[in-house]
Structure 1
Amino acid sequence: MKIYTYQGKKNVSGEKIRQMRNMKRMSQSALAAKMQVEGVMLERDSISRIEGGERFVADYELRVFAKVLGVDVKWLLNEQ
């Protein structure tokens, strides 16, 4: 599977995920743990790569990020 980039990044939501995680004073490890509780197996290094735009974010992961961070998926996609 070929993964394309958009404006040099592999996702458009990483910056928003970092922003909300920091607003909630949550570490990358804590966010990874909350994702795992919801059934998405991510490690701290995966969160770091997502936030840096170095890793693709699957649609199901995006939905769980929104749930765990308490935001709308549209906000993570910079549509609000």
Structure 2
Amino acid sequence: MRIVPIDGERFNLCGSRVREARQRAGISQDELSVQLQLRGLQVGQMAVSRMETGKRIVPDYELPILADALRVTVEWLLGKE
């Protein structure tokens, strides 16, 4: 199966919102990765960086975990609100 970027470049919709929420919260990528790990999502700082730049696919099951860690809604992460 071939995976095609959304706009020829990004592999997720939420990356820029993840970065925005993380920066608003005043935490580093490493601190976010720790928060995600505490919630059962095993990702490191590099994975967070790749999410934010759109280089990493973000599966749907990760969205609620990201939203919880960043104290936003899944809809906000997807740009729906």
CA shift for structure 1 position 17: 0.2
Q: What is aligned with 1:50?
A: 51
Q: What is aligned with 1:2?
A: 2
Aligned length in residues? 80
1:3-18 equivalent positions in 2, closer than 5 A: 3-7=3-7, 8-18=9-19
**1:65 aligns to what SS in structure 2?**
helix
Once residues 33 and 27 of structure 2 are traced to their aligned partners in structure 1, the CA distance between those partners, rounded to angstroms, is 10
TM-score for both structures, normalised by structure 2: 0.94
Q: What is aligned with 1:65?
A: 66
When the two chains are superposed, the root-mean-square deviation of aligned CA atoms in Å is: 0.8
Once residues 78 and 51 of structure 1 are traced to their aligned partners in structure 2, the CA distance between those partners, rounded to angstroms, is 14
Percentage identity across paired residues of the two chains: 35
Structure 2 portions without partners, runs of 5+? none
Q: What is aligned with 1:35?
A: 36
TM-score for both structures, normalised by structure 1: 0.95
